[in-house]
Chains A and B, each alone.
Chain A
């Protein structure tokens, strides 16, 4: 009598096979379901657009400077009276205006604004919006778009 002959006679009953298969599939389903649940619960919503921009230390912007802040988009102006900022979003249909020597020009529909942001050619009728600036407690210059 050989060992191989004994091994070949070891069989699993149909009931046990079905139970084993069911358990295996249910376990896999459970793991898959848990993975989906984990993914669902770990989903992070898109952050709201920022309204508060850290521009670094104020000394980076010397008096007399006019700095384009492309990410906002805005123009930061430092004059004798302090900092001010103008939104570079056209008041007609929201395109980003381009800086020109004589002011600003909208590439979408041709509106023009002077250096102070006042509309000088339509279709925009309103001036570019002024944005609030300030220096936070940590000494950082900030621009607020809300």
Chain B
């Protein structure tokens, strides 16, 4: 056998060298990038040079890929390069968001600098799902009131105007009531850490920030292929109502069986794309996108822990239209660092100038896409399509509303659209 050793060893040596050469030849030609922010070369563009910029505020030349996604920046082998990425394709998942998106100049700065996005989002009711959990536990007699005590994850805040400073993690397996147990197993599908239920592609979404800020490609009403939804490499504040619909308006929860019942119809127009069969909608509510009226703190929270959506959602018809007695609140822009300018930069549908008078909410949040015109009307620009609308205030109009009834439900009495 010894006389065959040398030939066999020679063959194995040659084969080994050939395999190494073949593997080497499969690697892409390195394309290096040294982002301004990191100053460290990375080779991600060797394979991903055709990827579109994720947003105008995160240009690859400045940010690169590794700062947000992590990964092995010098690897040319795809498996090795991707092996240490944060949360796979989604670095905004709340389990890693601080490392990916945090930083004093990025998204975990101070509230005074309006850079506390992560603190607000991770304590928001959309993330904790605390309201639904409290409601179900109250309904089935496990807790005596509707105050939130549990969230889908444990969270603490140093202080809270709501009086709630911490939530413990909700563990359905610790519940003895079968309905609550079923709720935990079947109904935790629409918070910001939840993967979508398998109802079809148009309702697919990412977790964390990307659940809202990364559009689902086939979420549009015109898409008929509901099984091929893909998220595009994009971050945007121009969030279409269809993205909101990846969680909202996609069906109902059946409290008798504690299961999610996906809607079975396939709407063909926008009015019917809003689910909730018994709900009433004014023209604003289905012609505009949700983000045209609802503010950043309503959607992402304000840093406090809440028990119910109504505690944070406060926009009413009168916010924009005023009442018979009062005009809507406005603010003239005199500070170049006004938050309105920053928001208008991120979504440039309107060219705001110092001296412009914009609408503000009761909490002084800028409705930066609505500007007072010299003739007393207001112009509004749709945040997703830039379409311009002009509207009048209620004051001075022929509206016959009861001044004592200023809630949106009262407005619906006259202004709802028949569906």
Contacts and interface: CB of A to CB of B under 8 A. Distances in A.
A83 to B, nearest CB: 24
Given A32-B17, A46-B41, A22 B6 contact: yes
Interface string A90-117: 0011111000000000011110100000
Contacts of B417: none
Contacts of A49: 34
Interface residues of A, number: 28
A120 interface: yes
Interface stretch (B137-145, B285-293, B321-329, B336-344): B336-344
Interface string B33-64: 01111000100000000000000111101110
26 contacts: A15-B3, A22-B7, A22-B10, A25-B10, A25-B11, A26-B10, A26-B13, A29-B14, A32-B14, A32-B18, A36-B17, A93-B37, A93-B63, A94-B36, A95-B62, A107-B56, A108-B56, A109-B342, A109-B345, A110-B341, A110-B345, A121-B341, A122-B337, A122-B342, A123-B113, A123-B115
B106 interface: yes
B377 to A, nearest CB: 27
B20 interface: yes
B102 to A, nearest CB: 13
A7 B17 CA distance: 37
B60 to A, nearest CB: 11
Contacts, number: 78
A46 B21 contact: no
A88 B59 CA distance: 15
B336 A94 contact: no
Contacts of B115: 123
A70 to B, nearest CB: 12
A22 B41 CA distance: 44
A interface SS class: mixed
Given A122-B337, A122-B342, A123-B105, 14 more contacts: A15-B3, A18-B6, A25-B10, A29-B10, A29-B13, A36-B21, A46-B32, A93-B37, A93-B106, A94-B36, A95-B59, A96-B61, A108-B62, A109-B342
Interface in B323-369: 336-337, 341-342, 344-346
Closest 10 CB pairs of A and B: A110-B345, A94-B36, A25-B10, A121-B336, A94-B62, A32-B17, A122-B337, A108-B57, A22-B7, A29-B14
A33 B16 CA distance: 10
B14 A28 contact: yes
B389 interface: no
